[in-house]
Amino acid sequence: MLDPRTQIVTVIGGGGFLGRYVCERLFKAGVRVRVAQRHPRAAWFLQPLAAVGQLALVKADVGRPATLERAIDGASSVIYLPGLLKGDMERVHVDGPRAAAEFAAKNGAKSFVHVSAIGASKDSPSRYGQSKARGEAAVKAAFPGATIIRPSLVFGPEDQLTNRFAAMAQLPVLPIIAPNTKFQPIYSRDAGPAIALAALEPERYAGETIELGGPEIMTMRELVTTVARLSGSERQVSDLPDMAADLLSRFGFLPGAPLNRDQWAMLQQDNVASADGGLAAFGIIPTPLEAVGRQWLSRFKEGGRFRGLHQPTEANVTRPAG
């Protein structure tokens, strides 16, 4: 394991949704953490989680290799987190991790962890899956001992998954796209520590490709209806026919469109981890959505998390005499 007294871990994209949970585990391990991202101020929320002098925020852009090199200089480990569902995937999923892995190897880093995705394959029907596969290959070529982490859908308080479904559940009818596609959603407080441990213990995880999933395999219909229930919605759900979803995706280039062509292609394949979901390799017991979802989804209920407080009851209502 990396010596916490002397080691620096550079987390590229550490101020994002998943990054906060990766960094939280690194702070607990006692290592110094250098968070590198395009807008460092967006990661200031991490400071209360760190000890004095344990966190450094640096400006870096995956499209500007020189900034990545500065962020990686002197680091004993590097974690690459950035990903996107639309836009310049080649820059973020391939060129960025390649440059980061090259600089990590050049600087003598002991470990490199690249966060990819289940479904990464050169034969994927989506540009997303193909670009993730090219990114994995580029990282392996530059840093042969790199650890590849492939999570399924990640949920948590700040996600754009359950929160989006909960917001949609306020509609009169909740349409479900690709209702039978299967997922194995994983809690952010499980995925983040696993990624951190892969960096901290290269003697155990170097060279491995590990797929991460939660304790349950759920269809899209089951996932959406569970989120709706946890958010207090009793709206009717309705499967959207594939023909209609396909047509909808053709307008994905429009601002605010819920689905684009590449996302529709991704939904044609299940997103399920192999073996036992991967968390057992890190000694982590997976957390089901049902156990934690109400913590943040209750805010979508009428009255939010304070629903039921200070409401009149038979016991405390004062009735007029007579």
The pLDDT confidence band at residue 6, using thresholds 50, 70 and 90, is low
Number of neighbours of residue 10 by Cβ within 10 angstroms: 31
For residue 73, tell me if it sits in a domain. yes
Is 134's pLDDT higher than 80?
yes
Residue that has been written with the tokens 């805010």 in this structure? 299
Over residues 245-255, the mean pLDDT reads 89
For residue 163, tell me if it sits in a domain. no
Query: Could you give the CA distance from residue 139 to residue 132 in angstroms, rounded to a whole number?
Result: 11
Over residues 236-262, the mean pLDDT reads 89
For the chain, the first-to-last Cα distance in angstroms comes to 77
For residue 278, tell me if it sits in a domain. yes
For residue 30, tell me if it sits in a domain. yes
Listed range (102-106, 181-185, 263-267, 317-321) with the worst mean pLDDT: 317-321
Q: What is the pTM of this model?
A: 0.90
For residue 105, tell me if it sits in a domain. yes
The fraction of the chain above a pLDDT of 70, given in percent, is 92
3-state per-residue secondary structure call for 171-238: CCEEEECCCCCEECCEEHHHHHHHHHHHHHCHHHHCCCEEEECCCCCEEHHHHHHHHHHHCCCCCEEE
Element (H, E) at 242: helix 242-249
For residue 196, tell me if it sits in a domain. yes
For residue 142, tell me if it sits in a domain. yes
Is 90's pLDDT higher than 80?
yes
Query: Could you give the CA distance from residue 70 to residue 42 in angstroms, rounded to a whole number?
Result: 19
Number of neighbours of residue 112 by Cβ within 10 angstroms: 31
Q: Which of 26, 7, 5 is nearest to 195 (CA)?
A: 26
| 99 contact partners, CB below 8 Å, separation of at least 6 | 62, 65, 68, 69
Q: Which of 85, 205, 193, 192 is nearest to 148 (CA)?
A: 205
Is 320's pLDDT higher than 50?
no
For residue 322, tell me if it sits in a domain. no
Residue that has been written with the tokens 């429009």 in this structure? 254
Note down the domain range covering 193. Answer: 8-155+186-214+272-286
Is 138's pLDDT higher than 50?
yes
Listed range (199-203, 220-224, 307-311) with the worst mean pLDDT: 307-311
Listed range (61-70, 196-205, 294-303, 307-316) with the worst mean pLDDT: 307-316
Residue 322's pLDDT is 40
Over residues 275-304, the mean pLDDT reads 90
Total domains in the chain come to 1
User: What CATH number corresponds to the domain at position 22?
Assistant: 3.40.50.720
